[in-house]
């Protein structure tokens, strides 16, 4: 029995079907249903990452490194991923084209979409700066994803270092919330963001680091509130 093709092998096959002069979006739009759903998702995330990286006018080595860190790419498959990344940078389709397609895969406001937005923020700040063009890009993507403003601010606060991340904003709670309520909210948020849940939602295993980054931010926020005595005690 033949061994099933890996995700990256299927991506390579899809790219090989590109006719001369066609853009990445041609391949992407042809991938409509399982088992190619994971291929489409992967291509779309790479495309958004590439367009995010150039939102401020240049793609830096730090931004590319950040993408590789949050989206696991086996060393032997980096050539395929690099081709998708480079095609996306020059593709005439706008970032909103890919964002809308991802949104239809999971539904407005789903945790998977928040995971993707989280990863895009990490790419945005990888070069040590957060440009107004990147803010515009990410707000537009958040709007397409159906991510509420409070959630957008929470994800932003976990990444943008113009000030210390506010743990209340990260957890989407009002300051001074009783500690037991904070604990319950934190545990629920971590359960929702857990990588296992991400895979169950249909996210490829290669993308679970998007979910892992969110869990780390939530844990740091809880620890800051717990250890800093910032919450009211019901005891």
Residue 139 confidence class, pLDDT cut points 50, 70, 90: very high
Q: Is residue 216 domain-resident?
A: yes
Q: Is the pLDDT of residue 97 over 80?
A: yes
Residue 141 confidence class, pLDDT cut points 50, 70, 90: very high
Q: Domains in the chain: how many in total?
A: 1
Query: Of 73, 71, 83, 175, which is closest to residue 126 (Cα–Cα)?
Result: 71
Q: Is residue 235 domain-resident?
A: no
Q: Is residue 80 domain-resident?
A: yes
pLDDT in tens, 176-187: 889 899 999 999
Q: Is residue 215 domain-resident?
A: yes
Whether the link from the prior residue into 35 is cis, omega within 30° of 0, is: yes
User: CA distances (Å), 224 to each of 52, 59, 83, 95, 182, in order?
Assistant: 30, 33, 41, 35, 11
Residue 203 confidence class, pLDDT cut points 50, 70, 90: low
pLDDT of residue 2: 45
pLDDT of residue 161: 66
Q: Is residue 144 domain-resident?
A: yes
pLDDT in tens, 16-57: 766 555 667 766 666 654 445 677 777 787 788 888 877 777
Could you list the residue range(s) of the whole structural domain that residue 11 is in?
A: 7-228
- Max intra-chain CA distance, the chain: 69
pLDDT of residue 119: 82
Is 209 within 8 Å of 72 (Cβ atoms)?
A: yes
pLDDT of residue 26: 66
pLDDT of residue 1: 42
3-class DSSP state for residue 47?
helix
* Mean pLDDT of all residues in 70-87: 76
Spatial distance between the Cα atoms of 165 and 232, rounded to a whole number of angstroms: 20
pLDDT of residue 202: 63
Q: Is the pLDDT of residue 209 over 90?
A: no
Q: Is residue 220 domain-resident?
A: yes
* Mean pLDDT of all residues in 171-198: 87
Spatial distance between the Cα atoms of 8 and 124, rounded to a whole number of angstroms: 25
> For all residues of the chain together, what is the average pLDDT?
77
Bigger pLDDT: 222 vs 29: 222
3-class DSSP state for residue 17?
coil
Q: Which residue has the tokens 């995330």?
A: 45
Q: Is residue 211 domain-resident?
A: yes
Q: Is residue 188 domain-resident?
A: yes
Neighbours of 173 (CB within 10 A): 20
Q: Long-range contacts of range 36-41, CB-CB < 8 Å, 24 or more positions apart?
A: 36/10, 37/105, 37/202, 38/7, 38/202, 38/204, 39/7, 39/10, 39/11, 39/14, 40/101, 40/105, 41/102, 41/105, 41/202, 41/203, 41/204, 41/207
Spatial distance between the Cα atoms of 98 and 182, rounded to a whole number of angstroms: 35
Bigger pLDDT: 189 vs 9: 189
Is 43 within 8 Å of 37 (Cβ atoms)?
A: no
CA atoms within a 13 Å half-sphere pointing along the CA-CB vector of 158? 28
């Amino acid at each position: 029995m033949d061994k099933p093709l890996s995700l990256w092998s299927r991506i390579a096959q899809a790219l090989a079907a590109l006719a001369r002069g066609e853009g990445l979006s041609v391949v992407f739009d042809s991938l409509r249903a399982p088992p190619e759903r994971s291929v489409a998702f992967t291509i779309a995330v790479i495309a958004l990452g590439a367009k995010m990286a150039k939102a401020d006018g240049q793609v830096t080595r730090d931004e590319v490194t950040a993408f590789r860190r949050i989206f696991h790419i086996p060393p032997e498959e980096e050539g395929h991923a690099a081709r998708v990344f480079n095609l996306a940078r020059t593709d005439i389709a706008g970032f909103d084209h890919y964002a809308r397609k991802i949104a239809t895969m999971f539904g407005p406001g789903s945790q998977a979409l928040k995971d993707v937005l989280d990863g895009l923020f990490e790419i945005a700040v990888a070069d040590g700066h957060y440009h107004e063009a990147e803010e515009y890009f990410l707000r537009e993507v958040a709007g397409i994803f159906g991510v509420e403003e409070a959630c957008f601010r929470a994800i932003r606060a976990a990444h943008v270092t113009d000030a210390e991340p506010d743990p209340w904003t990260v957890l989407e709670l009002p300051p001074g919330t009783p500690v037991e309520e904070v604990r319950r909210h934190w545990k629920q948020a971590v359960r929702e963001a857990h990588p296992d849940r991400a895979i169950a939602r249909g996210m490829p295993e290669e993308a679970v680091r998007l979910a892992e980054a969110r869990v780390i931010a939530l844990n740091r926020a809880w620890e800051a509130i717990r250890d800093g005595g910032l919450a009211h005690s019901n005891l």
